[in-house]
Amino acid sequence: MKPHARDVVITGLGVISPYGRGCDTLWAGLAAGACVLGPLRLFPTEGFPSNIGGQVPEATVRSLGAAQRSRANRFLLAAGEEAVGQAGLPDSALTTAAVSIGGTGGGMLEVETWYQHYYQKQNDRRVRGALRTMVPAAQTEALARQFHIEGPRESPILACSSSAAALVTVADLITTGMVDVGLAGGVDSLTRICFMGFNTLKLVDKSPCRPFARDRRGMSVSEGAAVLVLESYEHALARGAQIRAFLSGGAISSDAFHPIAPPPDAEGAVRAMREALQRAHLTPSDIGYVNAHGTGTVQNDKAESAALEHVFGAGKVVISGTKSLIGHTMGAAGAVEAATTILALEAGLLPPTANLSEPDPEIPFDCIPYTARPAVVDHAMSNSFGFGGQNVSVIFSHPRTLE
Amino acid sequence: MAVRSPRRVVITGIGCVSPFGVGGAEIVTTMLRTQQTAIAPVRNFTTEALQRHLGAEVPAADLVHDEEGRRWSRVTQMAVVACRQAVAEAQLAPGETLHPFGLVIGTEFGDLRSTEAFDASFLERGPRGLRAFLFPNTVMNSMAGIVSLALSIKGPILTLNQPGVAGELAVVRALTLLAANRTQAVIVCGVDELFSALYEVLGRLQVPSPCDNGEEACRPFDQRHNGPVLGEGATALVLETLEHAQARGATILAEVQQTCWGAVPARSYRYPSPARLHYRLLDELLASATLRSADITAAYLSGSGTPQHDTAELSLIAKAFGVECPLLTSVTHLAGEYGSLGALRVAAASITAREGLLPTLSYLDRPIRTDVRFTRQSETSSPGVVLVHGLARGGVQTALLIGPPSTH
């Protein structure tokens, strides 16, 4: 199929993950099936059911510089630097670019420290700096400033599907001809509030999470950032950029069912996947791999499996849950997993689901246990679902399919 | 960037939870007619030990009276009630009709009160003291989740976090959803809440008036301006494509004729310096709307009373419009300042566009610029196109042209 001028392509990827800095590091870990989840050391975890999660290595954090900035800010700027550098965008293209960065916690980690002092009526001179980075929009602002971007700027908050929605946002702005270039992604650092919250809701596993396993017990909280450079096909072509993938279609839907639980038939997720397929002009049989949301909670995995069964048919598509390897990076997850999906298309290798010694017989899909699998895939889907019943599905296509 | 929508977009419903009352467009009309400011000594919490005492508050009573609603946080209740009012005014019924609708909520702080309460419960009593039901509220999209549940909205839903212009941005983003053909109708809501910890902390940061330790007052664009007086509220709007509204026989309140969205260079959490401003966005707005400056009858500005904010915004407006500058006005002195106040500005502009009603800036004795005109005395404009302009800390800029419904 011949691409249209306003089709959306990906020309740059940047990632900070619990494996460390960069896409290559992420892919090396995923391809090796290396589960990086372990005891958290960022803050005290005593008294909570689980202390397991994914943490960006301290050596990586130190290498990011700008120690006066919030942890989330440093992750995002590093991911942005990698993505923009890789895309080789000229400054002129960046000036009018759009920026959409999703997240949930913003700079809350630093604010928590400040709040502890505030609560105990202690004077804390860090107040101004901490509060400036508190809201997620502060991270987006920092990225825009870093690259002198003066185009449309937003910070979508859709819980764990925030950064997937950012991708759909920027793709829409490109498709409708409003901008030629955009940076889309997400960031979240670990925060005590997030860790405590999921523990309190009893949604965390005491062991590293086991998506789609019979004995799965919950998720593993994690942190990271990912930024993708999106461009119109004609813009990328005109400047001779290397096209890494097409963003063929994306959709956002809502469950309107329950504040934190999906409906058992995952009807909202089904609508998101179907609309994404429709917008990509693809059928379910065209999709060779789904990077599932796969948190490892009993309800979510079951609902996602039901949705996949509705859309693709039982066992008709190969899926994996890469949160079993790096944990749930919260608002960044959609973008990190979008990068994962694109890297899988490029490498012809599907990342596995770790810790899957005993697959759940009620989940009728091949979840690629433990070992990455070679496969030439043209089109792949990445799913992201979040609190508030927010569903986002995005489809990526290998450039060979459209050129 | 101009938001290019291939279809015309109209406003068919307004919902308002404000210090002026709870209701539809009539609340905004009353605000414009009576010119009574809602700024008064804070009553919902004590300010005795603080240096500031003024605010513009929604009365403390429960907003939602059913059993389910009482479990929602106050800011969520405000959002739900405003959206319900807007839907009712648009003569839509919650349920299947709203399934394909979109929802965009703009907010600066979301449900920060719940976040604080959640953290405080841990600091007070450790892991066992944590109140699990508060945790979902700590994510800013919790209000959107509840609104979608209450109204049965199943289309694309976005929550946008943005200081200063969250309300305007929500409207602009709704237009991009319509332009991308993701839905035919969107409910937009700007919502923020004032509560004790936020009030105290912003005060410590010297954000609100009096940032010069002078008199505490809200005076945007006056030489005596010394910071905003904080407010709160929720304003919802129903936006539809013209075809969608006409097909269901809806009453059209106003038309969103054109919108622009971008940013000007600014330091983190600061307003742009006038020396570094550029004027591209407003030029683009006028060009894309094929309007002359003189066609715009009035402009609602976001100026909060923070000196740097007022100065930068007036520089942008004066430069873009020159001698044909429209009559400039504001609702900040009536409703107080909060991040999503822009949704109320858009609602007010839709009434100004239709009826010519304008707020009076009666406090404005000595404007910071004399080469522009403000609504200093009781004035009306002829019905026509009204600009809603927003400029935020960090540099995000929005501009919307709201026109009367008569041109269909």
Chain B touched by A173 (CB under 8 Å): yes
Contacts with A169 from chain B: Cβ below 8 Å: 158, 173, 176
Share of chain B above pLDDT 90, in %: 82
Contacts with A173 from chain B: Cβ below 8 Å: 1, 176
Distance from CA of A11 to the nearest CA of B (A): 22
**pLDDT tens readout for residues A126-145:** 666 777 788 999 999 999 99
Which distant-in-sequence residues (6+ apart) come within 8 Å of B385 by Cβ? B257, B291, B295, B296, B297, B353, B401, B402, B403, B404
Distance from CA of B127 to the nearest CA of A (A): 6
Return the pLDDT at B275: 76
Chain B touched by A137 (CB under 8 Å): yes
| Active site (annotated) includes residue A117 | no
- Subunit contact A112:B144, Cβ cutoff 8 A: no
Q: Which of A94, A117, A153 to mutate to test the interface with B (most CBs of B within 10 A)?
A: A153
* Average pLDDT over every residue of A231-245: 97
- Subunit contact A178:B396, Cβ cutoff 8 A: no
Please tell me the number of Cα atoms within 13 Å of B159 on its side-chain side: 37
- State the pairing for strand pair B157-161/B102-107: parallel
- Domain ranges in chain A are 9-397
Return the pLDDT at A64: 95
Chain B touched by A127 (CB under 8 Å): yes
**pLDDT tens readout for residues B281-330:** 898 888 888 888 889 999 999 999 999 999 999 999 999 998 899 999 99
* Average pLDDT over every residue of A186-202: 96
Provide the CATH number for the domain formed by A9-397 in this structure: 3.40.47.10
Q: Is the pLDDT of residue A376 over 80?
A: yes
Contacts with A98 from chain B: Cβ below 8 Å: 1
| Active site (annotated) includes residue A235 | no
- Subunit contact A193:B180, Cβ cutoff 8 A: no
pTM here is 0.97
**Which pair of structure tokens corresponds to residue B83?**
């959206």
Distance from CA of A257 to the nearest CA of B (A): 6
Helices and strands, number each (H, E), in chain A: 14, 15
Return the pLDDT at B16: 97
Q: Is the pLDDT of residue A302 over 90?
A: yes
pLDDT band, residue A307 (cuts 50/70/90) = very high
Catalytically annotated residue among A194, A235, A293, A310 = A293
Chain B touched by A247 (CB under 8 Å): no
Return the pLDDT at A117: 83
Chain B touched by A386 (CB under 8 Å): yes
Q: Is the pLDDT of residue A403 over 70?
A: no
Residue-wise over A63-76: b if at least 16 C-beta within 10 A, else e?
A: ebeeeebbbbbbbb
Phi, psi of B227 (to 5 degrees): 115, 165
Class of domain B257-407: alpha beta
**pLDDT tens readout for residues B118-129:** 999 999 999 999
Q: Which stretches in chain B have pLDDT values below 50?
A: 408
Are B93 and B23 in contact by the 8 Å Cβ rule? The answer is no
**Topology match between the domains B9-247 and B257-407:** yes
Mean pLDDT of chain A: 95
Q: Is the pLDDT of residue A388 over 60?
A: yes
Instruction: Give the C-alpha separation, B299 to B330, whole Å.
Output: 8
CATH T-level fold of B9-247:
Peroxisomal Thiolase; Chain A, domain 1 (3.40.47)
- Domain ranges in chain B are 9-247, 257-407
Contacts with B115 from chain A: Cβ below 8 Å: 108, 193
pLDDT band, residue A115 (cuts 50/70/90) = confident
| Active site (annotated) includes residue A328 | yes
Provide the β-strand partners of residue B262: B397
